[in-house]
């Protein structure tokens, strides 16, 4: 009897975890929304709003490297807005958003998808080189 209760508890926990993650399509839409919000804020010069879309570690690293609050630091980085989202790849809690002129990397946090790296350019047979990234 105890073994069957554990089995039921495990199934309930797994079902709850699976539904909390959403479908791949839903996660792609969420990533697209977060990337678009970040890009829109950049394009409008709303750097404080853009900082709200950054992952906590990325915002901290940016502030630390420039020794200014996130909004001012982001403005000084002169990150060019990347344009429209063309492609979204989601891998569990990690994602890549390929834009017209940029690539963003995002991670899912309790408050939603956040940008962990921006201003990323592919390099031949090497990892992306990103202008802004977390530490």
Q: What percent of the chain has pLDDT over 90?
A: 70
**Domains present along the chain, CATH in parentheses:** 22-133 (3.10.450)
Residue 72 binned pLDDT confidence (cut-offs 50, 70, 90): very high
Model confidence at 1: pLDDT above 70: no
- Confidence (pLDDT) at 32: 97
Residue 81 binned pLDDT confidence (cut-offs 50, 70, 90): confident
Residue-wise pLDDT for 13-30, tens only, equals 333 344 446 788 899 999
Spell out the residues 6+ positions from residue 54 whose beta carbon is closer than 8 angstroms to its own.
38, 62, 70, 114, 115, 116, 118, 132
């Amino acid at each position: 009897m105890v073994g069957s209760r554990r089995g039921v508890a495990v199934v309930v926990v797994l079902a709850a975890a699976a539904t909390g993650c959403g479908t791949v399509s839903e996660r792609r839409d969420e990533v697209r929304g977060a990337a678009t919000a970040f890009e829109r804020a950049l394009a409008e010069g709303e750097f404080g709003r853009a900082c709200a879309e950054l992952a906590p570690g990325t915002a901290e690293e940016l502030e630390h490297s420039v020794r200014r609050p996130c909004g001012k630091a982001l403005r000084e980085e002169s990150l060019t807005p990347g344009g429209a989202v063309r492609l979204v790849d989601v891998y569990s809690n990690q994602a890549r958003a390929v834009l017209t002129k940029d690539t963003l990397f995002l991670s899912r946090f309790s408050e939603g998808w956040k940008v962990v790296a921006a201003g990323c350019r592919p390099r031949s047979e090497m990892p992306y080189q990103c202008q802004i990234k977390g530490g």
